[in-house]
Amino acid sequence: MPTFDTMKSARIHTHGGPDVIVVDDVPIPEPGPGEVLVRVTATSFNPTEVAVRAGLLDVALPHTLGWDVAGTVEGEPVVGWIDGAAAEYAVTTADRLVPAPRAIPLADAAALPLAGLSAWQMVVEHGNAQPGHRVLVNGAGGGIGGFAVQLAKHAGAHVTATASPRSAVAVRELGADVVVGYGPTGRFDVVLNLVADAEVARLGGVVVSATRCDAPGSHFVTRFDPAQLTALVALVDQRVVVVDVSERHGLAHLPELHRRAEAGDLRGKVLVTP
């Protein structure tokens, strides 16, 4: 039976299919030297967590899922990128957190860190999108793609986005100038690729890809950068960037979210609340 000293935590004890995810009652963690205790308001689902669950990424078991976090530390709202956010409480170092945006509900801020930083680093850092550039966001219906569309528009670019019919309206509302199906044609100054095995090298000069594609040297791995996350928070508070939350679920729904992700049945950012 749970007590006041325990919390709910979505964990895997072994690698495998979605059914290996269980919600355990575990002790509330105690922060060590240099750490803080986060009371979690929400995390968000990221498709790369499927790789963790399946054993494609090396983690110690049992492992608590969840990287994005929005919550409070001693009553102050924060947002960040940590380990073990799919729980009622988590411990981390303070340098993994920044003040949360005030213009949106705190839970919604959990959609921002991984997807927002990925988009920032694709658009601003690696793509160097400029006013007048023709930018393609290939695979704009996901969480990263939605932020990439908005950041490219904020940079002054003309944005073409590929999206499924299910996502097309949402992508257009986020600011894409043109929305087309997959297999785009034309020439672009910057191609931001979010589709595995896409043939995009023929489409433009600078190709930045979050997954494998036919453009050698285009792949990058997102890193945590508190200054960039702080800048994203400011854009949210200025209403320049919209945090588009497509669904909200509890911890017990994580196995189903993993199944749906493997079937390609998720759009945008999905929140998970403990």
Residue 145's closest CA among 193, 185, 108?
Answer: 193
Q: Whole-angstrom Cα distance, residue 268 to residue 245?
A: 7
Residue 117 contacts residue 232 (beta carbons within 8 Å): yes
**Digitized pLDDT (tens) for each residue of the chain, 274 residues in all:** 344 699 999 999 999 999 999 999 999 999 999 999 999 999 999 999 999 999 999 899 999 999 999 999 999 999 999 999 999 999 999 999 999 999 999 999 999 999 999 999 999 999 999 999 999 999 999 999 999 999 999 999 999 999 999 899 999 999 999 999 988 999 999 999 999 999 999 998 899 999 999 998 899 999 999 999 999 999 999 999 999 999 999 999 999 999 999 998 988 899 999 9
Strand partners, 191: 136, 207
* pTM, entire model: 0.95
Residue 177, both tokens: 């100038």
Residue 59, both tokens: 């983690």
In Å, what is the CA distance from 188 to each residue of 71, 110, 147, 196, 220?
40, 32, 19, 19, 19
CATH of segment(s) 115-209: 3.40.50.720
Query: Could you state, in order of their start, the residue ranges of all structural domains in the chain?
Result: 6-112+243-273, 115-209
What's the confidence (pLDDT) of residue 92?
Answer: 98
The CATH fold assigned to 6-112+243-273 is Quinone Oxidoreductase; Chain A, domain 1 (3.90.180)
Q: Whole-angstrom Cα distance, residue 187 to residue 190?
A: 9
Cβ-based neighbour number of residue 26 at 10 Å: 18
Question: What does the chain come to in residues?
Answer: 274
